[in-house]
């Protein structure tokens, strides 16, 4: 088990769930204070990488039955976006490629691709990922694949 400071520094004092800064000096009892989350671990299993992550106390999934949710940016134009945490878990386990969203235009898909890669570079730094935009059925598919 790592100390809060070790986990905090490795994650650059940013909450792995909401992607916002965590104040290392805030009280650990405050909702926005720092805490160590056990990471995405379905059915009580350790995550593939077995890593502990920094989270705001209120965002920490350990205390609730709620599965971790990582939201897509509301500024993106994406249709039926895939759940980010579950997608990352599958790609960590099996690799391969998944369509993660559909977009009305190529520009929307490219914006979403840039946002997603940036977000995942912090959420799943152990995973080497690329994105691809594919035209299909009058829409643009955003594909995420392991390198």
Q: How many binding residues for Zn ion (CB under 5 A)?
A: 4
Helices (H) and strands (E) in the chain, counts: 3, 5
CB 58 within 8 A of CB 82: no
Given the complex with Zn ion, which of 59 and 100 has the nearer CB atom? 59
Q: In whole angstroms, how close is the CB of 84 to Zn ion at the nearest point?
A: 14
Q: In whole angstroms, how close is the CB of 39 to Zn ion at the nearest point?
A: 14
**Residue among 144, 135, 136, 139 at smallest CA distance from 115:** 144
CA distance 66 to 57: 14
By CB under 5 A, tell whether 59 contacts Zn ion. Answer: yes
Given the complex with Zn ion, which of 118 and 134 has the nearer CB atom? 118
Binds Zn ion (CB under 5 A): choice among 18, 127, 133, 143: 18
């Amino acid at each position: 088990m790592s100390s809060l400071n070790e986990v905090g520094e490795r994650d650059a004092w940013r909450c792995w769930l909401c992607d916002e800064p965590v104040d290392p000096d805030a009280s650990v009892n405050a909702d926005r204070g720092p805490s160590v989350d056990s990471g995405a671990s379905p059915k009580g299993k350790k995550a593939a990488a077995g890593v502990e992550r920094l989270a705001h106390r209120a965002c920490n999934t350990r205390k609730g039955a709620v599965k971790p949710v990582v939201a897509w940016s509301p500024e993106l134009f994406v249709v039926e976006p895939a759940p980010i945490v579950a997608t990352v878990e599958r790609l960590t386990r099996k690799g391969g490629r998944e369509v993660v969203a559909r977009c009305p235009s190529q520009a929307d898909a490219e914006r979403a691709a840039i946002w997603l890669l940036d977000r995942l570079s912090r959420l799943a730094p152990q995973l080497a990922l690329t994105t691809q935009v594919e035209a299909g059925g009058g829409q643009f598919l955003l594909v995420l694949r392991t390198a």
